[in-house]
Chain A
Amino acid sequence: MPRHRGPGHSRLAWAACGLLVAACNGPIESRSEDLPAIGGAPAYGDTFIQASIGDIGGLIPSLTSDQSSHEVGGMIYDGLVKLDRDLRMAPSMAESWTYSRDCLELTFKLRRDVKWHDGRPFTADDVLFTYQTMINPKTPAPFKEGFLLVKDVQAPDPYTVRVTYDKPYARALETWNTYMLPKHLLQSFAEAGTLRESPQNSHPIGTGPYRFQEWKPGEKVVLVASPDYFEGRPYLGRIVYRVIPSQATIFLELKANGVDYASSLTGIQYARQTEYPAFRKAYHKFRYPGSGYTFVGFNLKDPRFADLRVRQAFAHAINKQELIDGVRLGLAREATGPIRPGTWAYTDDVKRLSYDPERAKALLAEAGWKDRDGDGLVEDRDGRPFTLTIRTNQGNDERKKIAELIQQRLKDVGVQADIQLIEWAAFIKEFVKPRRFEVVVLGLGSGTDPDQFVVWHSSQRGPDQMNRTGYANPEVDRLLELGRSSCVQEERVQYYHRIQQILAEDLPMIFLYTADALPVVAARIRGVSPAPSGILHNFTEWFVPKQQQRYTSG
């Protein structure tokens, strides 16, 4: 593939590598020794090529649930607030906000210099419109919850938005970290319920740092930098998302310099396949704790798992470190609860059950499961052996390996487990939703707000709801409600610490680990700054020095 350099500037700029220094400062591991000594002045231009494992589902991300469309959408659209490098809410299109005393009113003051990509100004009307569209039953948006809890939205002047809630809602601010939609283009479609057929879904207009240029379905999406972006024009001139549905191929493209970025390597790729000199010269690897955790969930309706001793036995039977080493090659951290480590609500001062097969067997015996006939399996009083099926979805290599390792460990304590890998749609519909499972291996995201209401509250145990294990604990219910309806962080911290402690005692699921994120960025790209929220928080500041630019930005 021919490589185009920028127009031949031969200036050797010894500009202070301020951004480079920032990159070396992060508390997160990065291969600092590989960052070149010579700096380069920030320059506009060049193209950033990112591999995307799935094609985007559409160009109005409010309507989609796949990751690719949200990645792309995040560049085209903006919200009122955004997540900053330390996982806190920061101003985006709203320059400030205030909460009323009773936490029922949230008032945003919008910036005045934001324009849609077609030149029209962004105003409070658009915010109002976005809200109305999201709550409109005709809009097929998957994530409406936050908006449905709003009582009212007012736009007293073009740059002020006042949101009122019935009850204090802790995640209120987070709700407005979502994509704002243009009223002047979409009003008629939203009212008719035909958003999917609007031109916006094939040629979107947003307020974000990049403008849409083209989408070749199945092949690529191309975005170009928006010159009058309110936070400053992004340096990287163009982003191309290449659709490459095979992880193996993405990796090969990385090695052949066909892509500039991979959002996460696998454990083995990071540890074993990217250690050679040519790779380390051409790419920088990063490692930071990911969000989301993998767990083993019990069906608490199953009488065997209703007994806490059995759940504890399972927890003792499983060797979490072995899982981390075997599945992630050590590139993960043990999870002790559902809240993201490093955030303000996290605590690790909770009960832990270490790997102890003898203790596991003892607990099982206490619960009535002993090996009565010497066949290596435990049976209950009536002689029925303890057998179960571990289920998880097909297509996920990590979960498969976890299931296999757990199966072996359970065998060691006398429990016979089969594994079933089921296609996702069938899995959710036939087993997860109707609670027809014994044990599942799944993952959940830990969002930025620690509110866990939908996962642990006893009212959320319906078939379409997220409390899959069927957990019900009145004290946890109370704490969840309190946590959700307060907007004072000091109070909330107490509640969530207590919740984590109770969950570790009750063990409705065994929290396994949080995988590290292992992104890789081409070395010519400067300005990457690892932070608790990852590396993409300052994407608009990434640049390539003029003499190293590889592609014309067209």
Chain B
Amino acid sequence: MRQFWRTFSRNQLAVCGGAVVLVLVTLAVLAPLLAPWDPNRPDTRKILIPPSSSHWLGTDPLGRDVLSRVLYGSRISLAVGFVSVGIAAAIGVLLGAAAGYHGGTVDNVVMRLVDLMLVFPRFFLLLAVLAFLKPSIWTIMTVIGLTGWMGVARLVRAEFLTLREREFVIWSESVGAGAMRIIFRHILPNAIAPILVAMTLGIPAAILTEAGLSFLGLGVQPPYATWGNILNDGRDYIEIAWWMTLYPGLAILITVLSYNLMGEGIRDALDPRLRQSRVGRIRTR
């Protein structure tokens, strides 16, 4: 653990990233307290006003305060990030563990399922699922989660495959410990590192996906703001209302950047191969 912190803190970018992430999460949680205006209340007398003292980030085409919308939007964007990655990780861990531990047919079935999911163009998958479900924020999160578990599954499976051959597992088995026990007490803790990294790096991807979906009009329903749909609302007015594009774009940029830097830092710090003094390298894929 201490090793981890030492390596991690050496990486200035990662630390910066982590700090920013913390700030963002705080802002998101405190949004209702911080937002100066009702983010959803239109006012047609104030359409597309540039940033001013009463509206720090300007107003949108329906006269709503952009700052408030960006703040409330951060809650949705971050929620989408966390929850969809959580769903993806949960599915991935379950299926990957099953494949890696049992091997044989189970492994085959799961891996074919992975292939199947990977073959479909992402957009097609999203559209198909969205067509069936009622459009809402939960749908979006589920859909992104359902279409993104494959990477985690592969990782987890690989971990299981290698760790399974390790002595302590064989020992535990011979002693008669149940499968679940082995999985949770011995294998999973070792596998946690790459899973964590995948999750951290999955969050910015989920945020960008949500922004892209909103851009195509398939995202969260109005009037709720997400960074993606603020961008979409401002798309036709880029020249005269640059604030509609700059600020949510910046928000996405900073968030994605920070998560990525932090995630990379975590990965670098956790990766045993990058540590100089270690006996018995564990080969991970």
Q: Report the nearest B residue to A325, measured CB to CB.
A: B44
Q: Tell me how far the C-beta of A486 lies from the nearest C-beta in chain B, rounded to whole angstroms.
A: 43
- Contact status B221-A418, CB under 8 Å: yes
Partner of A326, one of B62, B135, B237, B238: B62
Q: Tell me how far the C-beta of B169 lies from the nearest C-beta in chain A, rounded to whole angstroms.
A: 50
Size bracket of the B interface: 20 to 34
CA–CA, A405 to B41, complex, Å? 8
Q: A326-B62, A404-B222, A420-B134 are in contact. Are A248 and B47 (CB under 8 A)?
A: no
Q: Tell me how far the C-beta of B64 lies from the nearest C-beta in chain A, rounded to whole angstroms.
A: 9
Partner of A268, one of B135, B217, B222, B237: B237
Interface status of B170 (Cβ within 8 A of chain A): no
Partner of B63, one of A326, A422, A423: A326
CA–CA, A248 to B231, complex, Å? 13
Interface status of B218 (Cβ within 8 A of chain A): yes
CA–CA, A420 to B40, complex, Å? 15
Binary per-residue interface labels of chain A (114-125) against chain B in the complex, 1 for a CB within 8 Å, 0 otherwise: 000000000000
- Which chain A residues lie closer than 8 Å to B10 at the CB level? none
- Contact status B61-A408, CB under 8 Å: no
Interface status of B32 (Cβ within 8 A of chain A): no
- Contact status A419-B44, CB under 8 Å: no
Q: A251-B236, A401-B62 are in contact. Are A326 and B222 (CB under 8 A)?
A: no
Q: A268-B48, A405-B62, A423-B131 are in contact. Are A247 and B222 (CB under 8 A)?
A: no
Q: Tell me how far the C-beta of B133 lies from the nearest C-beta in chain A, rounded to whole angstroms.
A: 11
CA–CA, A248 to B240, complex, Å? 12
Interface status of B167 (Cβ within 8 A of chain A): no
Q: Tell me how far the C-beta of B213 lies from the nearest C-beta in chain A, rounded to whole angstroms.
A: 11
Partner of A407, one of B47, B48, B223: B223
- Contact status B42-A273, CB under 8 Å: no
Interface status of A329 (Cβ within 8 A of chain B): yes
Q: A268-B61, A421-B217, A423-B131 are in contact. Are A329 and B47 (CB under 8 A)?
A: yes
CA–CA, A266 to B240, complex, Å? 14
- Contact status A421-B135, CB under 8 Å: yes
- Which chain B residues lie closer than 8 Å to A251 at the CB level? 236
Interface status of B165 (Cβ within 8 A of chain A): no
Most chain A beta-carbon contacts within 10 A, residue among B131, B222, B238: B222
Binary per-residue interface labels of chain A (407-440) against chain B in the complex, 1 for a CB within 8 Å, 0 otherwise: 1100000000011111100100000000000000
- Which chain B residues lie closer than 8 Å to A404 at the CB level? 40, 42, 62, 222-223
The DSSP consensus for interface residues of chain B is: loop
Partner of B240, one of A272, A421, A422: A272
Interface status of A82 (Cβ within 8 A of chain B): no
Q: A329-B47, A405-B62 are in contact. Are A248 and B236 (CB under 8 A)?
A: yes
The DSSP consensus for interface residues of chain A is: helix
- Contact status B218-A326, CB under 8 Å: no
- Which chain B residues lie closer than 8 Å to A401 at the CB level? 61-62
Q: Tell me how far the C-beta of B179 lies from the nearest C-beta in chain A, rounded to whole angstroms.
A: 44
CA–CA, A269 to B239, complex, Å? 10
- Contact status B131-A408, CB under 8 Å: no
Binary per-residue interface labels of chain A (171-197) against chain B in the complex, 1 for a CB within 8 Å, 0 otherwise: 000000000000000000000000000
Chain A interface, number of residues (Cβ within 8 angstroms): 29
- Which chain B residues lie closer than 8 Å to A407 at the CB level? 223
Interface status of B102 (Cβ within 8 A of chain A): no
- Which chain A residues lie closer than 8 Å to B135 at the CB level? 420-422
- Which chain A residues lie closer than 8 Å to B40 at the CB level? 404, 408
- Contact status B62-A420, CB under 8 Å: no
CA–CA, A403 to B47, complex, Å? 16
- Contact status A419-B239, CB under 8 Å: no
- Which chain A residues lie closer than 8 Å to B238 at the CB level? 248
Interface status of A506 (Cβ within 8 A of chain B): no
CA–CA, A394 to B221, complex, Å? 10
- Which chain B residues lie closer than 8 Å to A248 at the CB level? 235-236, 238
- Contact status B222-A405, CB under 8 Å: no
CA–CA, A12 to B45, complex, Å? 50
- Contact status B62-A419, CB under 8 Å: no
CA–CA, A326 to B236, complex, Å? 16
Binary per-residue interface labels of chain B (202-238) against chain A in the complex, 1 for a CB within 8 Å, 0 otherwise: 0000000000000001100111000000000001111
Q: Tell me how far the C-beta of A430 lies from the nearest C-beta in chain B, rounded to whole angstroms.
A: 9
- Contact status A405-B134, CB under 8 Å: no
- Which chain B residues lie closer than 8 Å to A329 at the CB level? 47
CA–CA, A404 to B61, complex, Å? 11
Q: Tell me how far the C-beta of A425 lies from the nearest C-beta in chain B, rounded to whole angstroms.
A: 8
- Which chain A residues lie closer than 8 Å to B45 at the CB level? 325
- Contact status A247-B236, CB under 8 Å: yes
Interface status of A477 (Cβ within 8 A of chain B): no
- Which chain A residues lie closer than 8 Å to B131 at the CB level? 423, 426
Q: Tell me how far the C-beta of B52 lies from the nearest C-beta in chain A, rounded to whole angstroms.
A: 17
CA–CA, A273 to B61, complex, Å? 14
Task: Give the contacts of B231-270 with A (CB-CB under 8 A).
Answer: 235-240
**B-contacting residues of A (Cβ < 8 Å)?**
247-248, 251, 266, 268-269, 272-273, 322, 325-326, 329, 394-395, 397, 400-401, 403-405, 407-408, 418-423, 426
Beyond A251-B236, A397-B236, A419-B221, 5 additional contacts (C-beta under 8 Å) are: A322-B44, A326-B42, A326-B47, A326-B63, A408-B41
Query: Which are the 6 A-B pairs with shortest beta-carbon distances?
Result: A326-B44, A394-B217, A404-B223, A325-B44, A419-B222, A322-B44
**A-contacting residues of B (Cβ < 8 Å)?**
40-42, 44-45, 47-48, 61-63, 130-131, 134-135, 217-218, 221-223, 235-240
Q: List 12 A-B contacts (CB under 8 A).
A: A247-B236, A248-B238, A268-B61, A325-B44, A326-B42, A326-B47, A397-B236, A401-B62, A407-B223, A421-B217, A421-B221, A423-B130
